A = this chain, B = another copy of it.
């Protein structure tokens, strides 16, 4: 019996330890769509697996998304408690309303925390949203009087910073979103593993930019080391959308072309099975089923394509 017990203990240790090693991040999508539905706009809570200290990548929808996450069992406390206690800071990719409306709307009931963004995005928040004409200035810079609830933290391109009150670190990279307008990619690190989130972006050839290629080059060693746990990237329109009407967004075809560029740095094997979470599908007409079909059809690199569900916790 003793031997059997030891074996059972060893087996239990092995099977419980294995997922702990493999699961690095948990993500609760608060909003997954690229427009129209005000209750479901881009916003992703990210924490180390098992932690309750999240950062929020974009903040298009907060309240409606947290409520949905409660319904789906991701949180077991009141909506405002999650907002106040579990979101430790916002990382805003760019100044478009569908990526920050939830933060502005909920600011009166929020707690003090940091808003992290590249300088041009902070300027948009200062000049257009946290003003007394458009809302109230809950931040610590911009139009007086400042209510000083939110502290702006200006990110520098390619320089890693600590996300306050969490165990995560974040590096920002610029993206082109209707050149010369910019958006941001956030590379989130916990210990030596990573999650990469891209705000809205067009493909380099369409944008006449090299921003994506520079990003792919930067993250390729991480991918080759199997340290990238997930890549969140947008696909707003189906392939039928003409390049001249992309407005700084991707289609399935353009996503796969960019993944080919990435594979030129990583090799194709490294991308096989990489979790690629598709964000920001614009829910007009039958975009959603069409985009899903087109992505599956053209997935020659055998990426693990994932469609996030609002409020449904994901583990990577």
User: Which A residues contact B (CB, under 8 angstroms)?
Assistant: 35-39, 41, 61-64, 67, 79-80, 95-98, 101-102, 104-106, 108-109, 124, 127-129, 131-136, 181, 247, 284
Closest chain B residue to A31, Cβ basis: B38
B132 touches A181 (CB 8 A): yes
Q: Which residues of B contact A101 (CB under 8 A)?
A: 38, 97, 101, 105
How many angstroms between the C-alpha atoms of A311 and B102 in the bound complex?
Answer: 21
From B35, B64, B96, give the contact of A38 (CB < 8 A).
Answer: B64
B38 touches A63 (CB 8 A): yes
B63 touches A109 (CB 8 A): no
B38 touches A105 (CB 8 A): yes
Q: Which residues of B contact A284 (CB under 8 A)?
A: 80, 109
A37, A63, A108: most-surrounded residue (chain B CB, <10 A): A37
Other 15 A-B pairs with CB < 8 A, given A36-B79, A36-B109, A37-B63 = A35-B105, A36-B63, A36-B105, A36-B106, A38-B38, A38-B61, A38-B63, A38-B64, A38-B102, A41-B105, A80-B284, A95-B133, A98-B105, A124-B134, A136-B247
Closest chain B residue to A100, Cβ basis: B134
Q: Which residues of B contact A127 (CB under 8 A)?
A: 128, 133
Q: Which residues of B contact A102 (CB under 8 A)?
A: 38
Q: Which residues of B contact A38 (CB under 8 A)?
A: 38-39, 41, 61-64, 101-102, 105
A95 touches B63 (CB 8 A): no
Task: List 22 contacting pairs A-B, 8 Å CB cutoff, sorted by A.
Answer: A35-B106, A35-B109, A36-B105, A36-B106, A36-B109, A38-B38, A38-B62, A38-B64, A38-B105, A39-B39, A41-B105, A96-B135, A97-B105, A97-B134, A101-B105, A109-B284, A124-B133, A124-B134, A128-B128, A129-B134, A132-B181, A136-B247
A97, A106, A124: most-surrounded residue (chain B CB, <10 A): A97
From B37, B80, B105, B128, give the contact of A129 (CB < 8 A).
Answer: B128
Closest chain B residue to A37, Cβ basis: B63
Shortest Cβ distance from residue A237 to the other chain B in the assembled complex, whole angstroms: 11
Shortest Cβ distance from residue A102 to the other chain B in the assembled complex, whole angstroms: 6
Shortest Cβ distance from residue A184 to the other chain B in the assembled complex, whole angstroms: 14
Closest chain B residue to A94, Cβ basis: B133
How many angstroms between the C-alpha atoms of A156 and B61 in the bound complex?
Answer: 35
B134 touches A35 (CB 8 A): no
Q: Which residues of B contact A39 (CB under 8 A)?
A: 38-39, 64
How many angstroms between the C-alpha atoms of A284 and B81 in the bound complex?
Answer: 11
Q: Which residues of B contact A108 (CB under 8 A)?
A: 35
